[in-house]
Amino acid sequence: MNLHRSEAHNNICVAGVGGVGGYFGGMIALNITSNYKDKRNIVFIARGAHLGAIQSKGLIIKAFGGDPITCIPNVATHKVSDLNLVNLLIIAVKSYDLAQMLESVKEKISTDTVIVPLLNGVGIEERIRKVIPRGIILPSCAYISSKIEEPGVIKMMGDIAKIVTGPDPLNLDYDSSEIISFFKNMGIKITWVENPQVAIWQKFMFIAPAALITAANNITINGIISSEDFKQDFFSIMAEIRKIAEKKNIILPENAEANSLKIAENIDKEAKTSFQLDIEKKKSQTEIDIFGYDIVRMGKETAVDTPVTEKLLAKLK
């Protein structure tokens, strides 16, 4: 992959420009299209009213404690057929849209394409590899609190926005310096770690119980600390996830649970999980599989009981 800004054939695609993809894609667009010397192309894949707003006025990011910024991609479209061969693909769709998106984009992927998945959940890179056998898939996760406030507008709910990523086990000779340099030049915080699964599972340890508890009880993330029952469920699901991770030889830090509680304590009091927002909107598709049923499935595979996860899933039915 060559992401040098003087190369006109460099094509960067952000699939899904909601709270996560909107921020990171917006930062890339801000830095590329505002510089007439930069010949790279940044394409947003979006849909509906959100797409229409981006096409008419750009994507607006309301920074946490800062002024709004307007980010203009080279192209905003819902047609993957509009794409050329992709050099860098950032995937930030919801898990239930992943399979369809991969099928639509797979012919635009070469052996040198770098794929950075920023979805919630664990084992995402394995799902991608089943559909797209080519490319360099970097196991990754995003630490960010943001949402679509209205079509074309991303609101940051905190000042944390970073990507943690690491090597593709099938492409260990890939030189990470280029992708690290690229994100840093876009003003995006990135951390490269040799074992990204620890970071991915540590995030999952927080977001999965937070999603289930907030959606099942109609409370904010910060609201988890308001009740001993909520806190007990929070720690119980984290314990279930830790046991599953250990069975998969993923050793999480001893303070992972304490750090997760700190996030709940310090996050914006109005912040909700994306899963909770989808439940509130009564969407026909939600991430209940990735946050709930995956835990139950992995528990059965590893002989780990998951009673609290199952309790909350029953409440959400």
Answer yes or no: is 3 within a domain: no
Q: Of 199, 192, 196, which is closest to residue 175 (Cα–Cα)?
A: 192
- Taken in order 86, 87, 91, 96, is the CA torsion positive or negative? positive
Number of domains comprising the chain:
2
Here the tokens at position 195 are 């074992």
pTM for the complete prediction? 0.92
- Beta-bridged to residue 223, according to DSSP, are none
Query: What is the span of the domain harbouring residue 143?
Result: 11-193
The reply to whether 81 and 174 lie within a common domain is yes
Q: For residue 3, is pLDDT > 80?
A: no
Q: Do 308 and 294 meet the contact criterion of CB atoms below 8 Å apart?
A: no
Q: Quote the distance between the C-alpha of residue 305 and its chain's center.
A: 27
Is the pLDDT assigned to residue 6 strictly greater than 70?
no
312 and 205 belong to one structural domain = yes
In a domain, 2, yes or no: no
Same domain, 31 and 120: yes
Q: Which of 30-39, 109-118, 122-131, 137-146 has the lowest mean pLDDT?
A: 30-39
Banded model confidence at residue 65, pLDDT cuts 50, 70, 90 = confident
Residue 265 has pLDDT above 80, yes or no: yes
Q: Is 171 inside a domain boundary?
A: yes
| pLDDT band with cut points at 50, 70 and 90 for residue 218 | very high
Q: Is residue 60 part of a domain?
A: yes
Claim to verify: residue 277 and residue 166 sit in the same structural domain: no
In a domain, 5, yes or no: no
Crossing angle of helices 307-316 and 228-247, rounded to 10°: 120
Residue 131 resides in a domain = yes
Residues 164 and 295 placed together within one structural domain of the fold: no
Average pLDDT for residues 30-54, to the nearest whole number? 93
What's the pLDDT at 18?
93
Domain boundary among 138, 168, 193: 193
